[in-house]
Amino acid sequence: MLPDELERLAARHVPGEGKLDILRLSSGLVNETYRVLRDGDSYAMRLAASNPYGLGLDRVWEAQVLEGAVPAGLAPVLEYCNPQRGILIARWVTGRPWNAADVRRQSNISRMAELLHRIHALPAPTPVRAMSPMNWIDYYSAAARHSIGGDLQVAVAPSAAAAQSAVAARSTRAALRTVAAGRLAALAALPGVEPVVCHSDLHTLNMIDVGDSLMLLDWEYAHVSDPLWDLAGWSANNDLEEELGNDLLASYTGRPPTSNEYSRLRLLSWLYDYVCLLWSELYLNWHRDSRPDVAVQRDAPAGGVAARAELLAARLRASK
């Protein structure tokens, strides 16, 4: 969005009459995010990013979920929401994100389990937006086929090794697709569970500790699914050791987990990593195609995504 359009939008929908101070925080595959200051108050303004991919998002359904999440104290108070245009303006949340040590603290594992129960108790708007790991894989795979060249790259390799890297990347992707199909089949063979509202994007940048409670940002991936999908996401995004992931599961269930629950969490954790790898590769292709003049190695956000993609690919290969 052009600066003048951005300022007109903020002037119309951000409370107050004073001068606007707009700071871009991030620009990614699905959102552009800004911090807006006016009359001494701060607001988060999120705009849908422009990209050519269908990524399975439903911003109208997200807005309906927020109608329950905001009064439950799970999401920031909204000042303006236009899901058709992908615009959301919320009050700025004052608090702090967790670091790696916070995530692993036993008391915080219990707090996270409690937060997950609160998310999963939210009423699901109708019609229900049900999604499965297979759905996410299908969306990202279809988007990959529409990307320029149709060939995703885990990371940008030095030019001298580009051909060899491309062959290795294709081989890795084919092998992981085969493993993913096996994990999906194993998951389908387990007893079914009652689906619930899931946030689906649980990581430390999307969670703010406000002291007596935890607040969640960025609900655009919310959907109805297996409740352990959120546990798998939190564990995967924070690189939790298996023992800590099992601790979270036990705290969530409030009893010793069953063998089926351990199996579901293990399968869903692998599939969550795989979905994140597909997203990362798609982001890198989009970044490469939309900003061909900027090398990934010299761009901090894309460089971070590339490094994460390499880590995910290595972890998935190791756990085949």
Coil, helix or strand at residue 148: helix
- Whether residue 294 contacts residue 248, with contact meaning beta carbons closer than 8 Å, is answered with no
- Whether residue 219 contacts residue 236, with contact meaning beta carbons closer than 8 Å, is answered with no
Q: Tell me what pLDDT residue 71 has.
A: 98
Q: Tell me what pLDDT residue 58 has.
A: 95
257-280: average pLDDT: 98
Residue 19 has pLDDT above 80, yes or no: yes
Q: What is the CA radius of gyration of the chain?
A: 20
pLDDT tens, 78-107? 999 999 999 999 999 999 999 999 999 999
Inter-helix orientation angle 228-237/242-253, to 10°? 150
Place of tokens 């569970």: 193
pLDDT bin (cut points 50, 70, 90) of residue 291 is low
- Whether residue 140 contacts residue 278, with contact meaning beta carbons closer than 8 Å, is answered with yes
Q: What CATH number matches the domain at 96-318, 3.60.20.40, 3.10.20.30, 3.90.1200.10, 1.10.20.60?
A: 3.90.1200.10
Amino acid at 282: L
165-170: average pLDDT: 61
302-316: average pLDDT: 94
pLDDT tens, 196-254? 999 999 999 999 999 999 999 999 999 999 999 999 999 999 999 999 999 999 999 99
Alpha helices per DSSP H over the chain: 3-13, 59-69, 100-104, 106-120, 133-146, 162-189, 228-237, 242-253, 259-290, 300-318
Query: Residues of the chain with pLDDT > 70: what percent?
Result: 89
Residue 319 has pLDDT above 50, yes or no: yes
290-307: average pLDDT: 71
Q: Tell me what pLDDT residue 136 has.
A: 97
CA distance 34 to 69: 22
pLDDT tens, 46-88? 999 988 888 999 999 999 999 999 999 999 999 999 999 999 9
Reported pTM: 0.91
pLDDT tens, 148-163? 555 444 444 444 554 4
Peptide bond before residue 133 is cis, with ω within 30 degrees of 0: no
Q: Where are the domains of the chain?
A: 96-318
CA 12 to chain centre: 29
Amino acid at 235: S
Tell me the CA distances in angstroms from 56 to 61, 71, 158, one per residue in order.
11, 26, 33
Place of tokens 């807006």: 36
Q: Tell me what pLDDT residue 153 has.
A: 47
Q: Which of 277, 252, 88, 42 is nearest to 175 (CA)?
A: 277
Joined together, the tokens standing for residue 146 give 């529409």
Residue 128 has pLDDT above 90, yes or no: yes
Coil, helix or strand at residue 150: helix
Coil, helix or strand at residue 54: coil
Q: Tell me what pLDDT residue 145 has.
A: 84
* CA-CA-CA-CA torsion sign (2, 146, 182, 136): positive
Say which residues have a Cβ less than 8 Å from residue 269's Cβ, sequence separation at least 6.
232, 235, 236, 245
Q: Tell me what pLDDT residue 301 has.
A: 82
Average confidence score pLDDT of the chain: 91
Joined together, the tokens standing for residue 84 give 């058709």
Place of tokens 């008391």: 107
- Rounded to 5°, the CA angle 227-110-100 comes to 95
